[in-house]
A = this chain, B = another copy of it.
Amino acid sequence: MQISEERLRSDIEKNASFGAIEHEGHGRTALAGTPPNGSARDYFVERLEDAGLDVKVDAVGNIVGRWVPKTADPNADAVAAGSHLDSVREGGMFDGPLGVYAALESVRAFQDEGVAVERPVEVVCFTEEEGQRFGSLLGSSVASGQTSVEDALAHTDDEGVTLAEGLETIGYAGDGRVNAEEWDAYLELHIEQGRRLESAGVPIGIVTGITGITQATVNIQGEANHAGTTSMTHRTDALAAASEFILDIERAANHTVEAESESAVGTVGREIVSPNSTNVIPGEVTLGVDIRDIESDSIANIVRDAKKSLERLEDERGVSTSYVTDLDINPVPMSDRCQDAMRQATEEMKLDAPKLPSGAGHDPMRIASVTDVGMLFARSKDGISHNPMEWTSWSDCATATRVLGESIANLASN
Protein backbone atom coordinates (compact mmCIF):
# COMPACT_ATOMS: atom_id res chain seq x y z
CA MET A 1 0.00 0.00 0.00
CA GLN A 2 1.35 3.36 -1.02
CA ILE A 3 0.93 6.35 1.34
CA SER A 4 1.33 9.87 -0.08
CA GLU A 5 3.66 11.56 2.37
CA GLU A 6 3.13 14.82 0.48
CA ARG A 7 -0.67 14.70 0.74
CA LEU A 8 -0.47 13.82 4.45
CA ARG A 9 2.04 16.57 5.15
CA SER A 10 0.02 19.14 3.22
CA ASP A 11 -3.09 18.37 5.30
CA ILE A 12 -1.26 18.46 8.65
CA GLU A 13 0.56 21.68 7.76
CA LYS A 14 -2.65 23.32 6.60
CA ASN A 15 -4.33 22.20 9.83
CA ALA A 16 -1.44 23.72 11.81
CA SER A 17 -2.12 27.13 10.22
CA PHE A 18 -5.43 27.40 12.12
CA GLY A 19 -4.59 29.05 15.44
CA ALA A 20 -0.87 29.17 14.59
CA ILE A 21 1.20 31.12 17.14
CA GLU A 22 4.51 32.94 16.87
CA HIS A 23 7.06 30.59 18.43
CA GLU A 24 10.10 28.56 17.49
CA GLY A 25 8.78 25.29 16.05
CA HIS A 26 5.14 24.98 14.97
CA GLY A 27 2.80 26.13 17.70
CA ARG A 28 -0.95 26.38 17.58
CA THR A 29 -3.78 27.19 19.95
CA ALA A 30 -6.99 25.63 18.71
CA LEU A 31 -9.12 24.95 21.76
CA ALA A 32 -12.35 23.03 21.22
CA GLY A 33 -15.21 25.20 19.99
CA THR A 34 -13.06 28.25 19.19
CA PRO A 35 -12.75 29.80 15.70
CA PRO A 36 -9.37 28.13 14.93
CA ASN A 37 -10.95 24.77 15.81
CA GLY A 38 -13.89 25.70 13.57
CA SER A 39 -11.57 26.47 10.62
CA ALA A 40 -9.68 23.23 11.17
CA ARG A 41 -12.97 21.31 11.14
CA ASP A 42 -14.12 23.09 7.95
CA TYR A 43 -10.92 22.12 6.20
CA PHE A 44 -11.22 18.52 7.45
CA VAL A 45 -14.83 18.21 6.27
CA GLU A 46 -13.78 19.50 2.82
CA ARG A 47 -11.02 16.88 2.65
CA LEU A 48 -13.49 14.12 3.66
CA GLU A 49 -15.92 15.27 0.98
CA ASP A 50 -13.14 15.56 -1.63
CA ALA A 51 -12.39 11.89 -0.94
CA GLY A 52 -16.07 11.06 -1.41
CA LEU A 53 -16.87 10.16 2.20
CA ASP A 54 -20.31 10.72 3.74
CA VAL A 55 -19.91 13.26 6.51
CA LYS A 56 -21.91 13.25 9.71
CA VAL A 57 -21.60 15.68 12.64
CA ASP A 58 -23.23 14.59 15.88
CA ALA A 59 -24.78 16.71 18.65
CA VAL A 60 -21.48 17.12 20.52
CA GLY A 61 -19.54 17.96 17.34
CA ASN A 62 -17.92 14.57 16.74
CA ILE A 63 -17.25 14.30 12.98
CA VAL A 64 -17.33 11.00 11.10
CA GLY A 65 -16.55 10.49 7.40
CA ARG A 66 -17.91 7.12 6.22
CA TRP A 67 -16.55 5.21 3.24
CA VAL A 68 -18.40 2.19 1.90
CA PRO A 69 -16.58 0.81 -1.14
CA LYS A 70 -18.32 -1.65 -3.48
CA THR A 71 -16.37 -4.52 -1.89
CA ALA A 72 -17.85 -3.77 1.55
CA ASP A 73 -21.08 -4.92 3.14
CA PRO A 74 -22.84 -1.65 4.07
CA ASN A 75 -24.57 -3.45 6.94
CA ALA A 76 -21.34 -4.74 8.50
CA ASP A 77 -19.92 -2.93 11.52
CA ALA A 78 -17.38 -0.36 10.38
CA VAL A 79 -13.71 -0.23 11.25
CA ALA A 80 -13.13 3.27 12.56
CA ALA A 81 -9.90 5.26 12.95
CA GLY A 82 -9.09 8.82 13.87
CA SER A 83 -8.15 11.13 16.71
CA HIS A 84 -8.88 14.81 17.50
CA LEU A 85 -8.23 18.28 16.03
CA ASP A 86 -8.47 20.41 19.21
CA SER A 87 -5.15 21.38 20.80
CA VAL A 88 -3.92 22.55 24.18
CA ARG A 89 -2.89 26.21 24.56
CA GLU A 90 0.35 26.71 22.62
CA GLY A 91 0.44 23.07 21.67
CA GLY A 92 2.13 21.33 18.75
CA MET A 93 1.01 20.35 15.25
CA PHE A 94 0.95 16.54 15.53
CA ASP A 95 -0.92 15.74 18.75
CA GLY A 96 -4.33 14.73 17.35
CA PRO A 97 -4.13 15.85 13.70
CA LEU A 98 -1.64 13.09 12.83
CA GLY A 99 -4.20 10.44 13.80
CA VAL A 100 -7.10 12.18 12.02
CA TYR A 101 -5.27 12.74 8.73
CA ALA A 102 -3.49 9.35 8.85
CA ALA A 103 -6.95 7.73 8.98
CA LEU A 104 -8.12 9.81 6.02
CA GLU A 105 -4.90 9.16 4.11
CA SER A 106 -5.39 5.44 4.70
CA VAL A 107 -8.80 5.61 3.01
CA ARG A 108 -7.36 7.64 0.12
CA ALA A 109 -4.63 5.01 -0.28
CA PHE A 110 -7.28 2.25 -0.30
CA GLN A 111 -9.10 4.19 -3.02
CA ASP A 112 -5.94 4.80 -5.06
CA GLU A 113 -4.97 1.15 -4.97
CA GLY A 114 -8.40 -0.42 -4.94
CA VAL A 115 -7.85 -2.21 -1.65
CA ALA A 116 -10.80 -4.57 -1.33
CA VAL A 117 -12.03 -3.95 2.22
CA GLU A 118 -15.14 -5.84 3.27
CA ARG A 119 -16.34 -3.48 5.97
CA PRO A 120 -17.18 0.22 5.86
CA VAL A 121 -14.32 2.42 7.10
CA GLU A 122 -15.03 5.52 9.21
CA VAL A 123 -12.65 8.42 9.70
CA VAL A 124 -13.26 10.09 13.06
CA CYS A 125 -12.56 13.41 14.72
CA PHE A 126 -13.58 13.49 18.39
CA THR A 127 -14.56 16.75 20.09
CA GLU A 128 -12.46 18.14 23.00
CA GLU A 129 -9.94 15.40 23.68
CA GLU A 130 -7.51 17.72 25.47
CA GLY A 131 -10.01 19.07 27.96
CA GLN A 132 -8.61 22.59 28.01
CA ARG A 133 -12.07 24.17 27.87
CA PHE A 134 -14.88 21.74 28.68
CA GLY A 135 -13.27 18.61 30.17
CA SER A 136 -11.08 15.92 28.67
CA LEU A 137 -12.14 13.03 26.38
CA LEU A 138 -15.57 14.61 26.07
CA GLY A 139 -16.49 13.58 22.51
CA SER A 140 -15.33 9.98 23.01
CA SER A 141 -17.15 9.79 26.36
CA VAL A 142 -20.38 10.59 24.52
CA ALA A 143 -19.59 8.19 21.64
CA SER A 144 -19.02 5.39 24.15
CA GLY A 145 -22.14 6.26 26.15
CA GLN A 146 -20.28 7.13 29.37
CA THR A 147 -21.50 10.73 29.21
CA SER A 148 -24.90 11.75 27.88
CA VAL A 149 -25.23 14.29 25.07
CA GLU A 150 -27.11 16.62 27.43
CA ASP A 151 -24.47 16.47 30.16
CA ALA A 152 -21.65 17.04 27.69
CA LEU A 153 -23.37 20.04 26.07
CA ALA A 154 -23.86 21.61 29.51
CA HIS A 155 -20.12 21.53 30.36
CA THR A 156 -18.81 25.09 30.70
CA ASP A 157 -15.45 26.75 30.22
CA ASP A 158 -13.88 29.21 32.71
CA GLU A 159 -16.05 32.03 31.34
CA GLY A 160 -19.25 30.03 31.77
CA VAL A 161 -19.67 29.34 28.02
CA THR A 162 -21.22 25.91 27.45
CA LEU A 163 -19.98 23.34 24.94
CA ALA A 164 -23.37 23.77 23.21
CA GLU A 165 -22.69 27.49 22.75
CA GLY A 166 -19.12 26.88 21.64
CA LEU A 167 -20.23 24.39 18.97
CA GLU A 168 -23.07 26.70 17.85
CA THR A 169 -20.54 29.52 17.35
CA ILE A 170 -18.39 27.48 15.00
CA GLY A 171 -21.30 25.72 13.25
CA TYR A 172 -20.65 22.23 14.58
CA ALA A 173 -23.76 21.55 16.65
CA GLY A 174 -25.02 18.54 14.70
CA ASP A 175 -27.59 15.85 15.43
CA GLY A 176 -27.74 12.47 17.11
CA ARG A 177 -24.76 10.67 18.54
CA VAL A 178 -21.84 8.82 16.99
CA ASN A 179 -22.24 5.39 18.60
CA ALA A 180 -18.90 3.62 18.98
CA GLU A 181 -20.71 0.43 19.95
CA GLU A 182 -21.58 0.04 16.29
CA TRP A 183 -17.90 -0.09 15.33
CA ASP A 184 -16.19 -3.42 14.74
CA ALA A 185 -13.00 -1.82 16.03
CA TYR A 186 -11.41 1.58 16.56
CA LEU A 187 -7.73 2.32 15.82
CA GLU A 188 -5.79 5.47 16.62
CA LEU A 189 -2.33 6.64 15.61
CA HIS A 190 -0.84 9.20 17.98
CA ILE A 191 2.58 10.66 18.69
CA GLU A 192 4.29 8.92 21.59
CA GLN A 193 4.83 11.96 23.92
CA GLY A 194 7.75 10.08 25.41
CA ARG A 195 11.20 8.87 24.38
CA ARG A 196 10.94 5.11 24.34
CA LEU A 197 10.72 4.80 20.54
CA GLU A 198 13.45 7.40 20.04
CA SER A 199 15.68 5.52 22.49
CA ALA A 200 14.91 2.25 20.68
CA GLY A 201 15.67 3.89 17.32
CA VAL A 202 12.38 2.83 15.71
CA PRO A 203 9.61 4.89 14.09
CA ILE A 204 6.58 3.07 15.50
CA GLY A 205 5.35 1.10 18.48
CA ILE A 206 2.24 -0.93 19.32
CA VAL A 207 0.44 0.26 22.44
CA THR A 208 -0.42 -2.53 24.89
CA GLY A 209 -2.72 -0.39 26.99
CA ILE A 210 -3.33 2.99 28.48
CA THR A 211 -1.95 3.15 31.97
CA GLY A 212 -4.17 3.54 34.95
CA ILE A 213 -3.54 6.59 37.09
CA THR A 214 -4.09 7.53 40.67
CA GLN A 215 -3.41 11.02 41.92
CA ALA A 216 -3.45 12.04 45.56
CA THR A 217 -2.92 15.10 47.72
CA VAL A 218 -0.68 14.39 50.68
CA ASN A 219 -0.56 16.82 53.58
CA ILE A 220 2.17 16.75 56.20
CA GLN A 221 1.82 18.87 59.33
CA GLY A 222 4.84 19.61 61.48
CA GLU A 223 5.51 22.68 63.58
CA ALA A 224 6.68 26.01 62.17
CA ASN A 225 9.40 27.50 64.33
CA HIS A 226 12.40 29.85 64.32
CA ALA A 227 15.21 28.22 62.35
CA GLY A 228 17.82 29.83 64.60
CA THR A 229 16.42 29.35 68.08
CA THR A 230 14.88 25.87 67.78
CA SER A 231 17.46 23.17 68.47
CA MET A 232 17.71 20.15 66.16
CA THR A 233 16.19 17.95 68.87
CA HIS A 234 13.12 20.17 69.37
CA ARG A 235 11.87 20.40 65.78
CA THR A 236 9.09 18.76 63.81
CA ASP A 237 10.17 19.74 60.32
CA ALA A 238 7.37 19.09 57.80
CA LEU A 239 9.73 19.56 54.82
CA ALA A 240 12.29 17.03 56.05
CA ALA A 241 9.42 14.54 56.52
CA ALA A 242 8.06 15.37 53.05
CA SER A 243 11.52 14.82 51.58
CA GLU A 244 11.62 11.31 53.03
CA PHE A 245 8.17 10.66 51.58
CA ILE A 246 9.22 11.88 48.10
CA LEU A 247 12.21 9.53 48.14
CA ASP A 248 10.02 6.67 49.42
CA ILE A 249 7.67 7.15 46.44
CA GLU A 250 10.63 7.14 44.06
CA ARG A 251 12.03 4.01 45.74
CA ALA A 252 8.67 2.21 45.61
CA ALA A 253 8.28 2.99 41.89
CA ASN A 254 11.86 1.91 41.10
CA HIS A 255 11.33 -1.31 43.05
CA THR A 256 8.12 -2.02 41.14
CA VAL A 257 9.91 -1.40 37.83
CA GLU A 258 12.59 -3.95 38.77
CA ALA A 259 10.33 -6.55 40.33
CA GLU A 260 6.93 -6.40 38.64
CA SER A 261 6.24 -4.01 35.81
CA GLU A 262 8.77 -1.87 33.97
CA SER A 263 6.11 0.65 32.93
CA ALA A 264 5.30 1.69 36.52
CA VAL A 265 5.97 5.34 37.42
CA GLY A 266 5.58 7.32 40.64
CA THR A 267 6.06 11.07 40.80
CA VAL A 268 5.71 13.89 43.28
CA GLY A 269 5.31 16.82 40.90
CA ARG A 270 3.88 19.43 43.23
CA GLU A 271 5.04 20.68 46.58
CA ILE A 272 3.74 23.66 48.55
CA VAL A 273 5.73 24.60 51.66
CA SER A 274 4.37 26.82 54.42
CA PRO A 275 5.38 29.38 55.61
CA ASN A 276 8.20 28.95 53.03
CA SER A 277 10.70 31.33 54.53
CA THR A 278 14.42 30.49 54.73
CA ASN A 279 14.62 31.30 58.46
CA VAL A 280 11.51 29.36 59.53
CA ILE A 281 11.29 25.58 59.99
CA PRO A 282 8.51 24.45 57.62
CA GLY A 283 5.27 23.77 59.48
CA GLU A 284 3.23 22.31 56.65
CA VAL A 285 3.86 20.72 53.27
CA THR A 286 1.29 19.71 50.67
CA LEU A 287 2.32 17.30 47.92
CA GLY A 288 0.74 16.20 44.64
CA VAL A 289 1.41 12.51 43.97
CA ASP A 290 0.93 10.80 40.58
CA ILE A 291 1.21 7.00 40.20
CA ARG A 292 0.61 5.16 36.90
CA ASP A 293 0.99 1.78 35.36
CA ILE A 294 -0.50 -0.61 32.89
CA GLU A 295 -0.94 -3.11 35.76
CA SER A 296 -3.43 -2.17 38.47
CA ASP A 297 -1.57 -4.37 40.97
CA SER A 298 1.56 -2.28 40.57
CA ILE A 299 -0.37 0.91 41.20
CA ALA A 300 -1.94 -0.61 44.31
CA ASN A 301 1.50 -1.68 45.60
CA ILE A 302 3.00 1.78 45.19
CA VAL A 303 -0.04 3.37 46.90
CA ARG A 304 0.33 0.89 49.76
CA ASP A 305 4.03 1.80 50.12
CA ALA A 306 3.14 5.51 50.07
CA LYS A 307 0.69 5.06 52.93
CA LYS A 308 3.21 2.95 54.87
CA SER A 309 5.75 5.72 54.43
CA LEU A 310 3.35 8.24 55.97
CA GLU A 311 2.65 5.93 58.92
CA ARG A 312 6.37 5.56 59.51
CA LEU A 313 6.88 9.35 59.35
CA GLU A 314 4.11 9.87 61.89
CA ASP A 315 5.84 7.40 64.25
CA GLU A 316 9.41 8.52 63.67
CA ARG A 317 9.04 12.26 63.18
CA GLY A 318 5.85 13.12 65.05
CA VAL A 319 4.21 14.74 62.02
CA SER A 320 0.50 14.41 61.23
CA THR A 321 -0.33 13.30 57.70
CA SER A 322 -3.26 12.79 55.38
CA TYR A 323 -3.59 11.05 51.99
CA VAL A 324 -6.57 12.06 49.86
CA THR A 325 -7.17 10.35 46.51
CA ASP A 326 -8.10 12.93 43.85
CA LEU A 327 -8.22 10.71 40.78
CA ASP A 328 -8.36 6.95 40.31
CA ILE A 329 -8.63 5.51 36.80
CA ASN A 330 -8.04 1.84 36.06
CA PRO A 331 -5.61 0.74 33.33
CA VAL A 332 -7.27 0.16 29.93
CA PRO A 333 -5.74 -2.73 27.96
CA MET A 334 -5.82 -2.56 24.15
CA SER A 335 -7.60 -5.48 22.48
CA ASP A 336 -5.51 -8.49 21.41
CA ARG A 337 -7.32 -8.61 18.05
CA CYS A 338 -6.32 -5.02 17.25
CA GLN A 339 -2.74 -5.56 18.49
CA ASP A 340 -2.55 -8.69 16.29
CA ALA A 341 -3.77 -6.74 13.23
CA MET A 342 -1.08 -4.12 13.86
CA ARG A 343 1.60 -6.74 14.55
CA GLN A 344 0.72 -8.48 11.25
CA ALA A 345 1.07 -5.13 9.44
CA THR A 346 4.47 -4.32 10.94
CA GLU A 347 5.77 -7.82 10.25
CA GLU A 348 4.73 -7.60 6.64
CA MET A 349 6.48 -4.23 6.43
CA LYS A 350 9.53 -5.78 8.20
CA LEU A 351 9.35 -3.08 10.87
CA ASP A 352 10.56 -3.61 14.41
CA ALA A 353 7.58 -2.28 16.42
CA PRO A 354 8.11 -2.62 20.16
CA LYS A 355 5.17 -2.98 22.49
CA LEU A 356 4.75 -0.07 24.88
CA PRO A 357 2.16 1.36 27.25
CA SER A 358 0.65 4.80 26.89
CA GLY A 359 1.34 6.87 29.97
CA ALA A 360 -1.06 9.59 28.84
CA GLY A 361 -4.82 9.35 28.45
CA HIS A 362 -6.41 9.23 24.97
CA ASP A 363 -9.88 8.82 23.42
CA PRO A 364 -9.39 5.00 23.05
CA MET A 365 -9.63 4.81 26.89
CA ARG A 366 -13.32 5.62 26.53
CA ILE A 367 -14.00 3.72 23.30
CA ALA A 368 -12.47 0.52 24.80
CA SER A 369 -15.56 0.16 27.01
CA VAL A 370 -17.79 -0.59 23.98
CA THR A 371 -15.61 -2.09 21.23
CA ASP A 372 -12.12 -3.41 20.43
CA VAL A 373 -9.50 -0.67 20.30
CA GLY A 374 -5.88 -0.45 19.26
CA MET A 375 -3.30 2.32 19.30
CA LEU A 376 -0.10 2.99 17.41
CA PHE A 377 2.57 5.43 18.58
CA ALA A 378 4.86 7.35 16.25
CA ARG A 379 8.33 8.42 17.45
CA SER A 380 8.45 11.92 19.06
CA LYS A 381 11.65 13.96 18.87
CA ASP A 382 13.01 14.36 22.43
CA GLY A 383 9.65 13.11 23.73
CA ILE A 384 8.35 16.69 23.63
CA SER A 385 4.59 17.29 23.35
CA HIS A 386 2.02 19.93 24.28
CA ASN A 387 4.63 22.35 23.05
CA PRO A 388 5.40 24.10 19.73
CA MET A 389 8.64 22.08 19.60
CA GLU A 390 6.68 18.81 19.32
CA TRP A 391 8.07 17.01 16.24
CA THR A 392 7.70 13.77 14.31
CA SER A 393 9.55 13.55 11.00
CA TRP A 394 7.40 13.42 7.84
CA SER A 395 8.94 10.11 6.93
CA ASP A 396 7.97 8.68 10.35
CA CYS A 397 4.47 10.10 9.86
CA ALA A 398 4.21 8.33 6.50
CA THR A 399 5.57 5.02 7.86
CA ALA A 400 3.18 5.14 10.80
CA THR A 401 0.27 6.00 8.51
CA ARG A 402 1.07 3.02 6.33
CA VAL A 403 1.02 0.75 9.41
CA LEU A 404 -2.33 2.25 10.39
CA GLY A 405 -3.70 1.72 6.87
CA GLU A 406 -2.51 -1.89 6.67
CA SER A 407 -3.98 -2.53 10.14
CA ILE A 408 -7.35 -1.07 9.14
CA ALA A 409 -7.25 -3.21 5.99
CA ASN A 410 -6.45 -6.30 8.06
CA LEU A 411 -9.40 -5.67 10.35
CA ALA A 412 -11.78 -4.61 7.57
CA SER A 413 -11.07 -7.72 5.52
CA ASN A 414 -12.18 -10.22 8.15
A-to-B contact residues, CB < 8 Å:
192-196, 199, 211, 213, 215, 225-234, 237, 239-240, 242-244, 246-247, 250, 253-254, 257, 262-273, 276-282, 288-290, 292, 358-360, 383, 385
Contacts and interface: CB of A to CB of B under 8 A. Distances in A.
A269 B282 contact: yes
Contacts of A239: 246, 268-269, 271
A232 B265 contact: yes
Contact of A227 (B254, B265, B279, B385): B265
Given A226-B383, A237-B250, 15 more contacts: A193-B226, A194-B230, A195-B230, A227-B265, A227-B359, A229-B359, A232-B266, A239-B271, A240-B246, A242-B243, A270-B273, A271-B273, A271-B282, A278-B288, A278-B289
A120 B207 CA distance: 89
Contacts of A288: 277-278
A196 to B, nearest CB: 7
B359 A230 contact: yes
A211 to B, nearest CB: 6
9 contacts: A213-B228, A227-B267, A229-B358, A229-B359, A232-B250, A232-B266, A239-B269, A277-B288, A278-B290
Most chain B Cβ neighbours within 10 Å, of A228, A263, A288: A228
Contacts of A282: 268-269, 271
Most buried by B among A229, A264, A385: A229
A231 B244 CA distance: 21
Contacts of A229: 192-194, 358-360, 383
Contact of A269 (B215, B253, B280): B280
Nearest to A215: B278
A225 to B, nearest CB: 7
A246 B227 CA distance: 14
B267 A281 contact: yes
A153 B230 CA distance: 34
A253 B89 CA distance: 46
A257 B232 contact: yes
Given A226-B383, A383-B230, A269 B265 contact: no
Given A243-B244, A247-B243, A290-B278, A269 B232 contact: no
The 7 closest A-B pairs by CB, nearest first: A278-B288, A228-B359, A194-B229, A243-B243, A229-B359, A227-B267, A243-B246
A279 B193 CA distance: 13
A262 to B, nearest CB: 7
Nearest to A253: B232
B383 A227 contact: no
A396 to B, nearest CB: 17
A384 to B, nearest CB: 9
Given A243-B243, A262-B231, A359 B290 contact: no
Given A226-B194, A278-B288, A288-B277, A254 B232 contact: yes
Contacts of A263: 231
A179 B292 CA distance: 68
Contacts of A230: 194-195, 265, 359, 383
B264 A270 contact: no
A60 B193 CA distance: 63
Contacts of A383: 225-226, 229-230
A237 to B, nearest CB: 7
A390 B273 CA distance: 24
